Structure 1
Amino acid sequence: MTKLLENIHRAVNIGLVNELKIVAGRMGIDIFEVIEVATKPFGFTAYYPRPGVGGHCIPIDPFYLTWQAHEYGLHTRFIELAGEVNSAMPDYVVGKLVEGLNDHSKALRGSRVLVLGVAYKKNVDDMRESPSAMIMELIQQKGGDVAYSDPHVPVFPPMRRYRFDLQSVALTAESLAAFDAVVVATNHDAFDYALIREHARLIVDTRGVYREGAGHIVRA
C-alpha cells in the first residue's frame, strides 16, 4: 500500500500539471515558468508536464488498487481521473502537431514527422508504456509518415501494443531538414537541441526544452 501511495501521488500530481498545462497554454502562459517560480518552502513538490506517462509505476500500478477497491464497493475517483487526463496527452500532442503544420500550410497526412525519444523518460532505454509509441501510432493513423530518433533505442523493439519496423535516425542538419516536423517527446541529454532548433522546420516541444519562443516552435 505504501508503494501504491507513492505511485498514486505521482500519477495524480502529473495529471494535475498536465491539465494545468492545457489551461495555461490557452491563456498564453508558460507552465514551466509557473512551476519554476512556485517557491513555497513546504507543501509543494514540483511536477512537470509530459506527453503522457510511461513505465509501470504510474500508468498501471495504481489501477491494481482501483480494481481491488471495486471489490469493496468503492471508487477511486482521483486515480481514475488522473489516468484519464494522462492517457489523453498523446492525443493533445498530436493535435498541437496538426495545428503547427496547418500554420505552415501543411496537412499531417503525407507529412514526414520525426519523434525524438521513444523511451518513456530521459537518458534510459526503458520503453514500457511509452507515450511516444502512442504518438507515433496516432501520426500513422492520421496519414503521417513517422520516424524516430533515440540514441538509447537503436532499433524499435516489439512492444505489447505497438509494432514499428524502424531504426533510429541519426540527427544531422540534413536529416532534420528532411522532415516536415519534429516532436520532442523525450528530452534525452544526448540530443543537440541547438542543432534541432536551427534545422528543424517545425518543432513540437512536449518537454519545455525550448523556453524562448520562435515561429517554428509549438509548445505541447
Structure 2
Amino acid sequence: MTDWARFLPLSNRDRGDESHVSRNWSRAASGMLLSVAAVLDARPEVLAHPTLRPEVSVAEAVRELLVQLRSTRWQRAAARIGAVESASPETAALPDAELADAVQAEALARSAARARSSVRELGAVLVLALDLRASIGASIDVDPFVSGAVALDLAVRAPHPRRSVVTARTLVAVDGDWRVGRGPELPATAASIVLFLAGRGGVPPHALPEAGADDA
C-alpha cells in the first residue's frame, strides 16, 4: 500500500495537479496504441524483426497484444486451459498487412467517451511500446506517470524471482520521478525497470540521471 499511495489521491506524496489520477487508463492506452500504429505504418518491414523475446516477431507480439485487448477475461482464461484454441481467433489470424490498421482501430475504440482500460491493459500496451523502442529503435514517447503506475502494478503481480528483487532493492526511475520496492536504491531508467518487471529483461543496470531527460 505504501507504493500504491504514491499514485493515489489523498496520499502522502507531494501535492499537485491530481486531475490525471484515475482507474480508467483509456486515454493513455489510446495514445500509445496510435504511436505503435504509426511505427508499423511507416516501417512495415519491422513486423518480421524479433522482439526482446527472440522467438517472437514484432507481428506476433502485436497480434498477442490485440488478442489480449479484444478478449474478455473468460475468453482469456478458457484459452489458457485449452478450452478454446485462441481467445480471439480472428484477431490471432490477422495478416501482417492489416496489423497497423487494427492497432489504430483499437486506439480509436479506446478513445471513445465510455471506453474503459485497466492499468493491466495499459501495461500490456506500454510493454509492447518499450519492447519496440528497445528492439527496433521505435520512437515512442511515454509519460513518466504512466510508466510508474504500470511498474507498480507489475511489481505487485510479479512472480517470485522478480518480486524478490523489489523486496530487497528500491528500483528508482532516474527519468521518471518514481520508485518501487524497498531496500537500497538501484537507480535505472524507467524503461529498463518496466521491462524487467514484465519479464522482458534482466535486473535493470545502474544508471545516472540525464540532464533534461523527460521521458521513460
Q: What TM-score, normalized to structure 1?
A: 0.27
Greater helix percent: which structure? 2
